[in-house]
A and B are shown apart, each in its own frame.
Chain A
Amino acid sequence: MNLTLKVWRQSGPSDSGRMVKYRVEEVSPDMSFLEMLDVLNERLILEGDDPIAFDHDCREGICGMCGMVINGVAHGEQVATTTCQLHMRHFEDGATITIEPWRAAPFPVVKDLVVDRSAFDRIIQAGGFVSVPAGSAPDAHSLPVRKEDADSAFDAATCIGCGACVAACPNGSASLFTAAKITHLSLLPQGQPERLSRAKAMVDQMDAEGFGGCTNTGECTAVCPKGIPLDTIAQMNSDYLKANAK
């Protein structure tokens, strides 16, 4: 198949950036989206052009490194799929595809489609952990956990930190990401001692990073490749309000 790509090119943080058009020919429907870009990049290198910079690593949907807004949708329209797991068979021959980076002030563009997501690390630093020094843990069976709680905690814990939720949110909110971690730890007995202080610290950090506020529009969960459920945000709000009431 043959395609036209409109790709955001920006040489660095100080460049203002623009959309650039490329033709790619003889794309195989079995290619992944990133492989299609690889092919284009090989050509650009040989033509002496700057290849399109994009983040990726595992290419199997788990590391959370890849991510671009494809035709207006974070990670593309395929449901519950990261960019690296998206395949060209979902596009039509002759189509024009628009590719842009995650857009959010706390995710400044580093180059082309690569953005800086270190704000997420700082949110975790604020409290996204259980304080337990190595070697001091009690036997794993000393605290049984209800299977339902363990399962729900797991659902929240599968967040890969890709940032698609922020990219999709009309408010540029990082609520789903932050809520996923808060919920994961809130549902487990191990997370209880620091539960409220954690929620407060993480939400405050999220706000300090410049992410927008959540108005419950649900765009985030719709694009989340791991389907992090919306009730994590309710859980976060509940813990946060309780923390503030104290």
Chain B
Amino acid sequence: MAVTGAVMVLFLVGHMLGNLKIFISRDSFNDYATALRTLLEPLAPYRTLLTIVEVVLAVSVVLHIWAAISLSRRAHAARPVKYAAKKSQAGGYATHIMRYGGVTIVLFLVWHLLDLTFGVVNPKGPVSTPADRMIAGFDPSRWWMTLIYLVAVVMVGLHLRHGIWSAFQTLGWANRNRYKALRTGAALVSAVLVIGFLAPPLAITFGVVK
């Protein structure tokens, strides 16, 4: 769980940085998308690196979800009879956000791929540059799309606020002297990701980037 989570976090960081290039210019962003596909090109065929990333990512997502489902099933098996009254003492935030939040993220991911990768639900359709798809996708008239992303990205942020700290704990790298730092760090990384991801769509929707 921690390892697959970490892979996804690393991807997200890269992804966010890439997305931010839209602020430099459309071309810069398109170049980045192209670069993704042509990197290592003389050495390896078109899309090698991207495919590797995609495969690793896909495997991570699947394993991560599989682990999440099996943890949940074990939890249900371990508590067949529910409490009549149950009050959380630690906030209960983590349990809900990880399980329900995770499902929300998956749904979003499907939508997101259809939208910006395959362009199926994108006004510009599949045959267009990524930048076009993106700018069209978040057109002010499609504010609801921006809203979907907003909700999703915030969910990701919350997931990671617990997830990043949790991964350290799961890998046995945490201890009481590091807890404060880890929790702050996790919150910081999550916040940076949320802001970084939301900046382009919001900028587009509010017409800052055209």
Chain A interface (Cβ < 8 Å from any Cβ of B): 6, 8, 19, 69, 71-73, 77, 98, 100, 103-106, 168, 170-173, 210-219, 221-223, 229-231, 233-241
Residues of A close to B169: CB separation below 8 A: 216, 230, 233-234, 237
Q: Is the CB of A215 within 8 A of B71?
A: yes
Question: Contact between B175 and A72 (Cβ–Cβ < 8 Å)?
Answer: no
Can you list 8 A-B pairs, Cβ within 8 angstroms, ordered by A? A69-B86, A73-B87, A98-B85, A103-B82, A212-B75, A213-B74, A219-B89, A219-B90
State in angstroms the CA–CA spacing of A198 and B92 once bound together: 31
Name B167's closest neighbour in chain A (CB-CB): A216
Q: Are A215 and B171 in contact (CB-based, < 8 A)?
A: no
The residues of B that contact A104 with a CB separation of less than 8 Å are 78-79
B residues less than 8 Å from A213 (CB atoms): 71, 74-75
Contacting pair A216 B170 (CB below 8 A): yes
Alpha-carbon separation in the docked complex, A57 to B83 (Å): 25
CB distance from B204 to the nearest CB of A (A): 36
**In the complex, what distance in Å separates the CA atom of A233 from the CA atom of B176?**
11
Known: A103-B83, A219-B90. A231 touches B78 (CB 8 A): no
Q: Which applies to chain B's interface (DSSP): helix, strand, loop or mixed? A: loop
Q: How far is the CA of A214 from the CA of B94 in the complex (A)?
A: 12
Neighbouring A residues of B166 by C-beta, 8 Å: 215-216
Which has the most chain B C-beta neighbours within 10 Å: A77, A106, A217, A222?
A217
Not counting A168-B89, A171-B79, A216-B169, a sample of 14 additional A-B residue pairs whose C-beta atoms are within 8 angstroms of each other reads A69-B83, A69-B86, A72-B87, A100-B83, A100-B84, A100-B85, A105-B77, A170-B95, A215-B98, A215-B166, A221-B90, A234-B175, A235-B172, A241-B171
| Per-residue A-contact encoding for B40-77, CB less than 8 Å = 1, 0 else | 00000000000000000000000000000001001101
A4 smallest CB distance to B (angstroms): 13
Chain A proximity of B182: nearest CB distance (Å) = 10
Verify if B118 is at the interface (C-beta below 8 Å from A): no
On whether A222 and B83 interact (CB within 8 A), knowing A213-B71, A234-B175, the answer reads no
Report if A234-B172 is in contact (Cβ < 8 Å); known contacts: A19-B84, A72-B87, A98-B84.
Answer: yes
* Given A215-B71, A234-B174, A171-B88 contact (CB < 8 Å): no
A170 to B90, CA, bound (A): 11
Contact A71 to B85, CB < 8 A, known contacts A231-B179, A234-B169, A234-B172: yes
B71 & A212 in contact (Cβ 8 Å cutoff): yes
Q: Across the interface, which residues of B come within 8 angstroms of A106, CB to CB?
A: 78
Q: State the CA gap A6–B85 with chains docked (Å).
A: 10
Over the window 92-116 of chain B, the binary record of Cβ atoms lying under 8 Å from chain A Cβ atoms (1 yes, 0 no) is: 1011001000000000000000000
Contacts of B79 in A (CB 8 A): 103-105, 171-172, 212
**The residue from A171, A218, A235 contacting B75, defined by CB atoms under 8 A apart:** A171
Residues of A within 8 A of B77 (CB): 105, 210, 212
